[in-house]
Structure 1
Amino acid sequence: MFTLLLRLGGPLQSWGSESKFEIRRTEPIPTKSGVLGMVGAALGRRRDESIEDLKKLRFGVRADQPGILLTDFHMARNDKFPYITRRYYISDGVFLAGLESEDFDFLKKIEWSLKHPQFPLFLGRRSCPVTLPLVLGIKELPLFEALKKEKWLGKDKKVDRSKILISLENGSGILTRYLKDEPESYDPVHRRFTFRKLGDFYISLENKTPEHDPFKDLVEEGSL
């Protein structure tokens, strides 16, 4: 089993699941529909194209730095009347996301595409561009083990690393819940999402502080 790990972090991100109309909420962690949508954009998929291969990927998230909830509200106008919209965002959040598959070649294709995307990539909404590094590589590990073993990605030293949340698809954690973020179609005319079972776990990452090398990415890209 193989797992592709992604770092989802930036000034703002927003992961809606059921919000519509004037109030657009965000889930506290990245959604499967949002991340697979980003993968589809990287692959160059149109919204009305099939996503059957993407739906087979097992998905999980680790919340290294939950961030702060922000609300943006402003006046908008339709054909006749002005109205107020409220949109919710996660500020300064950092998450580790994993996509698990037995097909190494497919994960390798996704990895390459995320580094060379066909369409722009966003963290849930167009106003939330991704920050680098996005791709952390493919591990020859099951999803849960890969999420447990990866080093801590956060920067806020006040975060309690003895209680880091992992939300795992079809997992049997201390809390089982359902989230409507399983994509069936991204077609704007017939967008469809179903419920997905999640298991929540808490793990300790007290001894997994990353050693940051500011020149590492430059050297890897051949800039030095």
Structure 2
Amino acid sequence: MPTLLLRLAAPMQAWGIASNFDTRKMALAPTKSGVIGLLAAALGIRRDAPERLTPLNQLRFGVRTDRAGSLLVDFHTAGNLTPLQKKQKLKETPYITRRHYLADAVFLVGLESTDRALLEQLADALQSPAYPLFLGRRSCPPTLPLCLGIREIDLVESLRSEPALASAAQLGSEKSVCILLDADPLEPNAFPQRDLPLSFDPRHRRFGYRAVKELRFSPQEPVSSTTQHDPFAELGGA
């Protein structure tokens, strides 16, 4: 069964998983809702067309963490007075929010389907997206290459066999690599995660649950350094 592979790397990523009033938390790996949002943007799917998400939700999803990155907490302050209140010179109490990001993380994402035509359509759309692409938040554009192409093997084998996207030094002392996969809810050690997008409509966002399982395996040899994140690459070198 063919699998489309994506390389998700950027100076910052933010895969939202839960928000609690002024704190916007994130998952430590790309979420299915976040990646489907990326695909929907590439295809030009509007937020008010939830029915077009169905074939994307049916893709079997998996993610491999090649470089976990580091947690970054960004503090935002904003005024909370209306223009009239400002004229009345009322005392202002700044509103503080905390937004979580992953810095310098690298992930390999796999999307498996029996519909090869759909995978080819997605690969083409990612090369020439209808809307700007971002990794969780608009302030987090991806670095290139994003789309690694289609592999003629299943999801698990694709994630196991693809060479590491981070150098040996960046992989550190970890002796195993973690992958998270869509699973059957009845599988042993499967756990629920609420990141299956039912609607991205800002008036009524809805997310469902999916079952996820974790696998660990020894990493393959890293790919050449030309695929590593280079901040000067988009400028033609330094």
The alignment's TM-score, normalised by the length of structure 2, stands at: 0.84
Q: Is the alpha carbon distance of 1:35 and 1:79 closer, same or farther for their aligned partners in structure 2, counting shifts above 3 Å? A: farther
Which residue matches 1:118?
A: 130
Q: Is the alpha carbon distance of 1:29 and 1:135 closer, same or farther for their aligned partners in structure 2, counting shifts above 3 Å? A: same
The total of aligned residue pairs comes to 214
Which residue matches 2:192?
A: 178
Which protein shows a greater Rg?
2
Q: Is the alpha carbon distance of 1:120 and 1:20 closer, same or farther for their aligned partners in structure 2, counting shifts above 3 Å? A: farther
Q: How far apart are the structure 2 equivalents of 1:160 and 1:146?
A: 23
Please state if 1:83 is matched with 2:95.
yes
More helix by share: 2
Report the 3-state secondary structure (helix = DSSP H, G, I; strand = E; otherwise coil) of the residue aligned with 1:25. strand
Q: Which moved more, 1:147-156 or 1:133-142?
A: 147-156
Which residue matches 1:191?
A: 205
Aligned-residue CA RMSD in angstroms? Answer: 2.0
Which residue matches 1:67?
A: 69
Q: How far apart are the structure 2 equivalents of 1:155 and 1:199?
A: 26
Q: Is the alpha carbon distance of 1:118 and 1:79 closer, same or farther for their aligned partners in structure 2, counting shifts above 3 Å? A: farther
Question: Once the 2 structures are TM-superposed, how far is the Cα of residue 79 of structure 1 from its aligned partner?
Answer: 4.8
Q: How far apart are the structure 2 equivalents of 1:79 and 1:140?
A: 58
Q: How far apart are the structure 2 equivalents of 1:78 and 1:58?
A: 44
Question: Once the 2 structures are TM-superposed, how far is the Cα of residue 173 of structure 1 from its aligned partner?
Answer: 8.2
Q: How far apart are the structure 1 equivalents of 2:102 and 2:187?
A: 24
Which residue matches 2:121?
A: 109
Which residue matches 2:57?
A: 55
Report the 3-state secondary structure (helix = DSSP H, G, I; strand = E; otherwise coil) of the residue aligned with 1:129. coil
The alignment's TM-score, normalised by the length of structure 1, stands at: 0.89
Q: Is the alpha carbon distance of 1:47 and 1:135 closer, same or farther for their aligned partners in structure 2, counting shifts above 3 Å? A: same
Unaligned runs of 5+ in 2: 83-92, 228-235
> Deviations 1:129-152 (Å, cap 9, x if unpaired)?
111000001011111111001000
Percent identical residues: 46
Question: Once the 2 structures are TM-superposed, how far is the Cα of residue 156 of structure 1 from its aligned partner?
Answer: 6.1
Q: How far apart are the structure 1 equivalents of 2:217 and 2:102?
A: 22
Q: How far apart are the structure 2 equivalents of 1:157 and 1:12?
A: 20
Q: How far apart are the structure 1 equivalents of 2:12 and 2:213?
A: 26
Q: Is the alpha carbon distance of 1:124 and 1:210 closer, same or farther for their aligned partners in structure 2, counting shifts above 3 Å? A: same
Q: Is the alpha carbon distance of 1:38 and 1:79 closer, same or farther for their aligned partners in structure 2, counting shifts above 3 Å? A: farther
